[in-house]
Amino acid sequence: MPLLYLAEAISVLVFNNEIGLLQLYPLINEKLQSITPITYFWVSAAATFILWGITCAIAFTNPVETFLNNILSDAKTQGTVETQLLEEKSEILDSMNETIESNSEILAHVNDLIYNMRTEVKEIHPLNESVEKMKTELGSLRKEVKKLEEQVNFQILCPTCGRPLLPEFKICPYCGENIKLLPENLVSVKEYR
């Protein structure tokens, strides 16, 4: 703005124009109209250079830069404090890291154990089937042995009811028929043993 006044003051001196910008101040317009063009020039030049000097001084000591420098120094201070806290708590962080690593190793070991158990279970499954087959076969063998024992024990049939009888029986326990005496060359199972 002072530069406009200076430019008008130069045009008033050089081209003998009227002073127009001073009419913007209605309360003191009459007093300002009485100023000579040379005074107007020197006052505008002085105001321009003074304000330009203040602007340069402010520009060289930039308040925004100062503000940012203060913020950065505060951040550095805070960073230093945080670094100290981290160094103080580094033991906790180290122990947490060790715990995580050991837990990772334990989990890997458990994973291996589970894999091995699955493999063993797969191997045991056919064995279970074999055991079940053996049980079935043993059951059928027991039935056959029982039948053979009955055939060995009960070689005599009752002539009346046809049921098997032990050689020691003289009377049929089922029908009460009198059994004929066995031939002498037959030996009872108990005597044979």
Chain segment 63-91, per-residue pLDDT in tens:
667 777 888 888 778 878 777 777 777 78
* Average pLDDT rounded to a whole number, residues 95-109: 88
Q: Give me the pLDDT at residue 82, please.
A: 79
* Average pLDDT rounded to a whole number, residues 109-133: 83
| Residue 147: C-alpha distances to residues 107, 142, 175 (Å) | 59, 9, 23
* Average pLDDT rounded to a whole number, residues 172-186: 70
Under DSSP, is residue 114 helix (H, G, I), strand (E, B) or coil?
helix
Which residues have CB under 8 Å from 159's CB, separation 6+?
177, 179
Least confident range of 116-120, 131-135, 162-166, 179-183: 179-183
Instruction: Report the predicted TM-score, pTM, of the whole model to 2 decimal places.
Output: 0.32
Chain Cα centroid distance, residue 192: 80
Orientation angle between helical segments 37-60 and 2-15, nearest 10 degrees:
150
Phi, psi dihedrals of residue 165, rounded to the nearest 5°: -130, 150
Q: Give me the pLDDT at residue 46, please.
A: 93
Task: Tell me the percentage of the chain whose pLDDT exceeds 90.
Answer: 6
| Residue 167: C-alpha distances to residues 4, 163, 171, 190, 192 (Å) | 151, 13, 10, 10, 12
Position 12 pLDDT exceeds 50? yes
What is the token pair recorded at 123?
Answer: 């191997």
Least confident range of 45-49, 111-115, 155-159: 155-159
Under DSSP, is residue 34 helix (H, G, I), strand (E, B) or coil?
coil
Position 136 pLDDT exceeds 60? yes
Q: Predicted confidence band at 169 (pLDDT cuts at 50, 70, 90)?
A: confident
Alpha-carbon dihedral of residues 86, 92, 93, 95, nearest 10 degrees? 160
Q: Give me the pLDDT at residue 182, please.
A: 44
